[in-house]
Amino acid sequence: MDQAAAVERLADLIRDAGSVVALTGAGISVPSGIPDFRSPGTGLWANVDPMEVAHIDVWRVDPERFWRFYGARFQTLDDRLPNGAHAALVELERRGLLDAVITQNIDMLHRRAGTRELIEVHGTIEHSSCLACGARHALAQTRSRMEDDAEGIPRCDCGRPLKPDVVLFGEMLPVDALERAYELAGSADLLLCIGSSLEVHPVAQLPAVTRRAGGEIALVTQGPTPYDEHAAVKLEGDVVAELDALLGALDRLA
């Protein structure tokens, strides 16, 4: 199936589905200037061992080292803007063709783009919390506290180090978000997987949940995934161009 036919096929699937849910990974944010995780030379983990900088035990034992890494990560993400792929999902939601977005990303771009029904299964950098007293601080406050601290550690008013409200290595995913993601995947006629290698568990199991319930899966991602042979359609081009083409195909079907 050539690219144009694949786009038309995806448009047909979306138009005919009673429920469409999107699952997004790091690839949807690459056009916004945010590196993915494993691309050689450019991925976030290409030159650093995540277990040495982004593990919950590092935050507990050496918060200065942890925040030296995460402070730079915050700086990278804070000024990024949603791209056309994020906007396309907002438009699908506006048209009543998309029920929800489940994202593995922590970058706030879906929320900034205007997605209303959003499940952030890996958390968000939007705020950080104190695990001692429960206080929550917005991103700007966290960064200010980090800059004001001699060790570069953002601290709560009680003096304890803050932890970003993202799921670190060694932590469990938030139960409510994961349960909602499984519920949506199980009720979806079509799970649209965008920019994800579908290798990080337990989120990588969601396409199987959809298929077991009788739904279809569609892939918009570069590179192989474990579900390529099970997908009703796969688009492998630039994610912004592919989703723009999808909107155009849906316009023609209207």
| Cβ neighbours, 10 Å, residue 90 | 17
Burial of 1 per CB tally in 10 Å (0-12, 13-18, 19+): exposed
Distance CA 251, CA 254 (A): 5
Catalytic residues: 122
Which residues, listed in sequence order, are joined to residue 120 by a DSSP beta bridge?
Answer: 103
- Phi, psi angle pair for 109, to nearest 5°: -70, -35
Q: Are the C-beta atoms of residues 142 and 164 closer than 8 Å to each other?
A: yes
Cβ atoms of 121 and 178 within 8 Å: the answer is yes
